[in-house]
Amino acid sequence: MFPSIANRLNRRYRSAVILTVVPGGILFTADLVRQLDFEIEMDGISCPHTPGDRHNNSNISYQQNITVSNKDVIIVDDAIESGGTMSRLVAHIAEYFPASIAVATLFVKPHRIAIPTEQYYAYETATDELLVGYGLPWQNKFRNLPCVKRLIK
């Protein structure tokens, strides 16, 4: 699964902090990290989001269980739609003086804003339609679907 992302990360890094955006990014992280051959530390961050909301202003919750200062950080999430959540997370982590910040996601959507950082993604979707499963919820359910489906309301 996701050989293109894992291969690119394996070529780029000797070590990194994998910072999972929880809970959505948990399933993708679990599969991705098992394909990484460099040293990793793992931590989590959250910024709760309502699917389809393009202006996520919720509080960022980051306990900093491990320090990221002077370390390479890879923020891992399931999807980028507007890009608003991830650009806020990148700006937030930058305040902790990491050596670098990259973003790895399973999906990116076409109308996302530019995020000025290294980016790795598996799939660019053709439209902004909502997906569920494999971490992605609908009304906080269905995250545990083992595959990703289009949401038909």
Ligand X SMILES: O=P(O)(O)OC[C@H]1O[C@H](OP(=O)(O)OP(=O)(O)O)[C@H](O)[C@@H]1O
Ligand Y SMILES: Nc1nc2[nH]cnc2c(=O)[nH]1
First to last CA, the chain: 29
Among 78, 104, 132, 134, the residue binding ligand X under the rule CB under 6 A is 78
DSSP labels, 85-149: HHHHHHHHHHTT--SEEEEEEEEE-TTPPP-SSEEEEEEE-SS---EEBTTB-BTTB-TT-SS-E
Residues 6+ apart with CB under 8 A from 67: 96
If one asks whether residue 132 binds ligand Y (CB under 6 A), the answer comes out as yes
If one asks whether residue 138 binds ligand X (CB under 6 A), the answer comes out as no
If one asks whether residue 79 binds ligand Y (CB under 6 A), the answer comes out as yes
If one asks whether residue 123 binds ligand X (CB under 6 A), the answer comes out as no
Q: Which does 83 bind (CB under 5 to 8 A by kind): ligand X, ligand Y, none?
A: ligand X
φ/ψ region of 70 (left if φ > 0, alpha if ψ in -120 to 50, else beta) reads left
If one asks whether residue 133 binds ligand X (CB under 6 A), the answer comes out as no
Binding segment for ligand X among 3-11, 35-43, 61-69, 71-79 (CB under 6 A)? Answer: 71-79
Among 16, 62, 77, 134, the residue binding ligand X under the rule CB under 6 A is 77
Question: In the complex, which residues of this chain contact ligand X (CB under 6 A)?
Answer: 21, 23-25, 48-49, 51, 54, 56, 77-86, 136-137
